[in-house]
A = this chain, B = another copy of it.
Amino acid sequence: MDDDRPLFFHLMAYADDADRDVIDMVSGDPDWEPPAALREGIREFADAPVAAYQYPPSAGDTELRELLADRHEVPVERLLVTNGGGEANHLAMACGLDAHSGNEVILTDPVYPYYADRAELLDADVTYVPVAEDGTLDPASVRRVASDETALIVACSPNNPTGAVYGESVKRELADIAEANDALYVSDEVYEEFDFSGRFHSAVGFDSPNVAVTNSVSKAMATTGLRVGYAILPDRLLDPARTRHMLTNVAVTAPGQYAAAKALRETPDSYYAETRAMLESRIETFCDALDAAGAEYIRPRGAFYVLARFDGFPGTLANAKRLIDEAGVAGMPGEAFGTAREEWLRFALVTPRADAAADRLTDYFA
């Protein structure tokens, strides 16, 4: 099974063993500070009473659930706290497959590889719908393939790896297609806070029985290792999802939930705005360098990845390694994201050395 993370580890081990300095643009791990209140929450938890160290409610810490439900304006019952966005997405996919007729999962190509691997784990059939070169998804192409065989439509916006942000009408159309085919649209919104287009619109607002939204604090708060995510589910999925969550994980880690709740309460909007500004500046610099290197690329409208194509240098694992050895820059091979971007490499702008990486790519390819 070709997963993001093992490939990441493989490439990182390769980069570590290289004889030269290598700039890591492989992983999706933020390199910037989490909110001060999140660190402070961890510090406070060190002195919490013994009872705070015991099982939290399986569906999530009561205060955290209420904060998240308020933020998304949903009844608290519809929100389950999960072990990161990963468990939220897995729960929505597993319970959606059980609850809806059909066994087909519609994914985009390029795809976030965990969706495809989860479909395989769940013995589902995958149909890929290609997106446009700039990452835009035409919902008509989803409608064409959807049928009563379709159980799930899973899509991420802001998108990893394309950086596209689907507008409200695209998401509403995906919800309509799910409703028309007795399917569940799983809207992965973990990059919600990284929207540079102003077009982000949460699918939560559709209030559709055929829409599940998954999210987490991992990316927004620069703490992918905290493992605090959540799923907002339609009523019919609540009981099965609570049961599955309880029987696979029992509950989500208490210190992480405590710190996330404190950070949600106390983090000013300026924290997110500053992170966005910093990323926009990195995107600007990096894309300028790609212009100078003569590369094709997709300027991201959201998230923090740039897909780029260099003439005569397809995005294979071999070329990703060659770029490490010869240019000192580590990116993800496009072939990890399906078939549509095999010519491309994905660079994650999660390093303060994005400028230096840009210079190295210019020198290497120009």
Contacts and interface: CB of A to CB of B under 8 A. Distances in A.
A5 B246 contact: yes
Number of copies: 2
A255 B39 CA distance: 11
A53 interface: yes
A50 B34 contact: yes
A43 B42 CA distance: 7
A17 to B, nearest CB: 17
A31 B46 contact: no
A55 B29 contact: yes
Interface string A235-258: 000000001101111111111100
Given A114-B247, A226-B254, A249-B227, A39 B50 contact: no
A244 B53 contact: no
Contacts of A86: 247-250
B3 A246 contact: yes
Contacts of A251: 84, 225, 227
A224 interface: yes
A31 B5 contact: no
A54 to B, nearest CB: 4
A365 interface: no
Interface string A63-101: 000000000000000000001101100100000000000
A53 B247 contact: no
A3 B249 CA distance: 13
A33 interface: yes
A45 interface: yes
Contacts of A117: 243, 247
Given A249-B84, A249-B249, A225 B46 contact: no
Contacts of A1: 243
A56 interface: yes
Interface of A: 1, 3, 5, 9, 27, 29-34, 39-40, 42-43, 45-47, 50-58, 83-84, 86-87, 90, 114, 117-118, 121, 222-227, 243-244, 246-256, 259
3 nearest interchain CB pairs?
A: A225-B254, A86-B250, A29-B54
17 contacts: A5-B250, A27-B55, A32-B50, A34-B50, A34-B53, A40-B46, A43-B43, A54-B225, A83-B83, A83-B227, A86-B250, A87-B248, A87-B249, A90-B249, A121-B243, A121-B247, A253-B253
